[in-house]
Structure 1
Amino acid sequence: MSSTSTSARSGAPIHDHDHDHAADTEPVELAWRQADDDVFVATSRGEFAGFVTVDDTAHVVHDSHSRRIGSYPSLAAARQALVDATRPPSRSRERLRRRILARRR
């Protein structure tokens, strides 16, 4: 069954919410391009997702807002860090975060 089907009664769309939530757990697909000798740029679904700069000692990762995520010893580790940073939070992790924040009030 697709994520949206049509009701036989009204012709209105019916959303299959179980399928919609599956997108939250799917791995983020990033396309990489080398912009310069020391810069690699990532896009996700055609949108800018971040970049990695390379110097003599490290691979520095920045997100789509140019905020530094971290420094890594290899390009592969840097790329994975950007994938992890762009992955949507899981529902259980989000619930846990809200519970922790509620206790602090």
Structure 2
Amino acid sequence: MSSTDTSARSGAPIHDRDPAADTEPAELAWRQADEDVFVATSRGEFAGFVTVDDTAHVVHDRHSRRIGCYPSLAAARQALVDATRPPSRSRERLHRRILSRRR
């Protein structure tokens, strides 16, 4: 089926998806939007931004939620990369174990 085929029920286009695209972390592409704003995209989608305020670099995710404040632009960018990386299975298991102990 090609990406231009349509669904028989809805008439909406059906897009072929690459399953590997969802499992591999995408690299962030950075653009300077203003003198004090840097914007990141991942696979063409908005991923977050960094604002620079005197000595602080404040990172926000794709929903504009604040991730943290960092002393350098490099540290701020890495924080967004870490925040957008899907969790590993071992980390998920650890998280579930911690939550089960709290019950």
* TM-score of the pair, normalised by structure 1: 0.74
CA contact (8 A) 1:59 1:73 kept: yes
Shift of 1:28: 3.9
CA contact (8 A) 2:57 2:73 kept: yes
Shift of 1:8: 27
Shift of 1:22: 8.2
Note the residue ranges of structure 2 that are not aligned, 5 or more in a row.
Answer: none
Find the aligned partners of 2:11 and 2:90 in 1 and give their Cα distance. 34
Shift of 1:48: 0.6
* TM-score of the pair, normalised by structure 2: 0.75
Identity rate, percent: 91
Distance 1:91 1:54, change over 3 A: same
Question: What is the number of equivalent residue pairs in this alignment?
Answer: 103
Distance 1:3 1:96, change over 3 A: farther
The one-character-per-residue Cα deviations of 1:61-82 (angstroms, maximum 9, x if unpaired) are 0000101111111111110010
Where relative contact order (Cα < 8 A, 6+ residues apart) is larger, the structure is 1
The one-character-per-residue Cα deviations of 1:67-102 (angstroms, maximum 9, x if unpaired) are 111111111111001000111000000011111111
Distance 1:93 1:24, change over 3 A: farther
Note the residue ranges of structure 1 that are not aligned, 5 or more in a row.
Answer: none
Find the aligned partners of 1:11 and 1:75 in 2 and give their Cα distance. 47
1:13 counterpart SS class: coil
Q: CA RMSD in A?
A: 5.2
